[in-house]
Every structure is written in C-alpha cells, then in structure tokens.
Amino acid sequence: MRLLSGIQPTGLLHLGNYLGAIKNWVKLQNKYDSLFCIVDYHAITVPYDPKKLPKMILDLTLDYLACGIDPKKSIIFVQSDVPEHTELAWILSTVTSLGDLKRMTQFKDKSKQHAENINAGLFNYPILMAADILLYKAQVVPVGQDQLQHLELAREIARKFNKKFGNVFPEPKPILTKAARIMSLNDPRKKMSKSYGEKSYIALSDSPETIWKKLAPAVTDPARVTIKDPGTPEICNLYHLHQLFSPKKQIDQVADACRNAKFGCLDCKKILWENIVKELKPIQEKRKALAANPEKIKKLLQQGAQEAKKIAQKTISEVKEKMGLKY
Ligand code: SF4
C-alpha cells in the first residue's frame, strides 16, 4: 500500500503541524510505502516572498528529518522537482467539473483571506492536490478533517478518469489524524496557526524561554480567576496539550489539582512547559546538526525527486496511452 502526504513550505512548523501530521507520519512510514512531499507549488497560490521560499523549502525538509521521517524508509522530495505533478494536474483538469471546484470551502475561505489575490491557481489547487496523490497511485492519504473535502474530490476525479479512459487510478482513502485539533494559545476557539500572531502558537524551533513566554499568558478555563477557584480541565486548551505531552500520572494529577483548586494555572503551565521542552529537545538538537550540512540536505532532496520521478513517469506514460496522447 502506498501513502502520500505533504506540507506547504510557509515558514516555521508549529505544534499543530507536528501533532496533527508529522508525528503520525513517522509511525505510518513503517507500515506503508511512503512519499512525503514539500508542496511548494501549492504555497505559491497565496502571496509569498520568492527570496524566502528556498530557505523555507530547506527548513521544512530539516523539520521532516528532525522529527523522524527517515529517507531510508520514505521518499522525501520537493513537488516542483517532479514536473509530472503539473502535467497530470492539467490532464485531470479536463475531467474535473467547474461546479465541484466552486464547492470547495478552502477556496472560499482563502479567497476571503486573500481578497486582493484570488488567482486561478488557488481555484485549481484541489486538482493539483489530486494529481499529487494520483501520480503515485497512493491508496492512502493521512489528512486532517479540513482536507477531507479535497480528498473526496480526488476520489471523484479518479473515478471519472477511470470511467472515461479505463482503470488507471486507485481511489485514495483518508487516514484521519487521531490527534485532537490543536488550538491557538491566545484564542482556543481557533485552530493553532501562524496567522494569529506569535503568541498563538509554539514553533518546533522555539527555545525553552520562548515557549514559556507563550505558555505563561495562554488562555485557560476562565473560571479559575484565583488559585482558590476550582476549574474544569476538560474545557481548558492547556489540559488538552497535557494529554498530548505529559505522562498519564501527571495528567491525572493536573486534572485533580484543577478541579479541587490544589494549585494555580501557572503551576500547571510549568509542568506542561517542562514536558513540551523535553519532547522538543531531541528534535531541535537533531535539526541543528542536520542544518550544519545544507548540501547534504539538497542532495537528499535530489535523490528523493529521482525516486519519485521513476513512479511519476510510469503513471504519466500509462495515462497518455489511455488518453490517445501517444502516437
Ligand atoms: Fe487549565 Fe491547568 Fe489552569 Fe486547569 S489548572 S484551567 S487545566 S491551566
């Protein structure tokens, strides 16, 4: 079974990306024949700085590797290094209905967010995503809830193509990330995101001091005004983070201390801070060591692209054959 997933190189990765995607990929790469892509062609559908993009691509590669994506087990590559992605996207656009694209909620959201730059690439984004997956005939795609609609469209595109030209593509199935949605520190009603400012997220590269600066003012259960006020851990965003970073015994202690006003939120945050720092430390150390040799990282990406191309070219050849594009 083949698996494909990817992240856009848009800057520093945060805990939401780590817990919602990469941590899960590290386990999945042992079970599936995996490809992990740096989807730079998707990143250019919104305003970006061309001078910063090359560094962001290398940074994301470092994050993949530091978190445990292993190039001996998985193919790691950059989307634009394999031109077959855009070639297949064009082909698939001819079997994709305009109505389906217009229904995509992400396009509607991003159009509002970037009202000054609603480009055709943003509209066609789901076709490129379908091409990313179908090019490798991936049977499974780990996705968050917010990408399910795009994956459903990829399945629909595969069905339409197969019906019209003959069976080529398997219909990719989602592997839904089990981790809870990671919410913003300063506004837990929103998903953790860099768009809500520095205090809303913890980056994987944040130092212990920076993490504390972000955790200390983080929003908790508003009922806990003073140390003597009991709270409800289940409604607190930080308690959810405890469940992801703290050992079971400490999670239980935190819940008890919160309900029975045994300690204040700052004590609770201190325990969480220690556990987050402990988990991120080896990742940060590995990342620092890898960053010392950028040429090695570039070489690794080139090798990854070559391996990806072997699969991609085979699929494109089969597609062209079926479509009458070979003479
Ligand atoms: Fe949240 Fe901990 Fe404060 Fe309870 S004690 S409200 S779990 S930060």
Pick the catalytic residue: 194, 270, 286, 322? 194
The pLDDT value given to residue 179? 64
- Atom index in ligand 1 nearest the CA of residue 223 equals 6
The pLDDT value given to residue 113? 81
SS (H, E, C) the chain: CEEEEEECCCCCCEHHHHHHHHHHHHHHCCCCEEEEEECHHHHCCCCCCCCCHHHHHHHHHHHHHHHCCCCCCEEEEEHHHCCHHHHHHHHHHCCCCHHHHHCCHHHHHHHHHCHHHCCHHHHHHHHHHHHHHHCCCCCEEEECHHHHHHHHHHHHHHHHHHHHHCCCCCCCEEEECCCCCCECCCCCCCECCHHHCHHHCCECCCCHHHHHHHHCCCCCCCCCCCCCCCCCHHHCHHHHHHHHHCCHHHHHHHHHHHHCCCCCHHHHHHHHHHHHHHHHHHHHHHHHHHHCCHHHHHHHHHHHHHHHHHHHHHHHHHHHHHHCCCC
Cα of 314 from ligand 1 centre, angstroms: 54
Considering the segment(s) 2-182+294-323 as one domain, its CATH architecture is: 3-Layer(aba) Sandwich (3.40)
Cα of 241 from ligand 1 centre, angstroms: 11
pTM of the model: 0.91
What residue owns the CA closest to ligand 1's atom 4? 258
pLDDT tens series, the chain, 327 aa:
999 999 999 988 999 999 989 999 999 999 999 999 999 999 999 889 999 999 999 999 999 999 999 999 999 999 999 999 999 999 999 999 999 999 998 888 888 888 888 889 989 999 999 999 999 999 999 988 888 999 999 999 999 999 999 999 999 999 987 666 789 999 999 888 887 888 999 999 999 999 999 999 999 999 998 889 999 999 999 999 999 999 999 999 999 999 999 999 999 999 999 999 999 999 999 999 999 999 999 999 999 999 999 999 999 999 999 999 999
- 29, amino acid identity: Q
The pLDDT value given to residue 180? 63
- Atom index in ligand 1 nearest the CA of residue 242 equals 7
Task: Choose the CATH number for 206-287 among 1.10.240.10, 3.10.150.10, 3.40.50.2000, 2.60.40.1120.
Answer: 1.10.240.10
The pLDDT value given to residue 112? 84
What ranges do the domains of the chain cover?
2-182+294-323, 206-287
Q: Is 191 a catalytic residue?
A: yes
Give the binding-site residues of ligand 1, using a 6 Å CB cut-off: 220-221, 224, 231, 233, 236, 238-239, 254, 258, 265, 268-269
279 burial (CB, 10 Å; 0-12 / 13-18 / 19+) is middle
The pLDDT value given to residue 15? 94
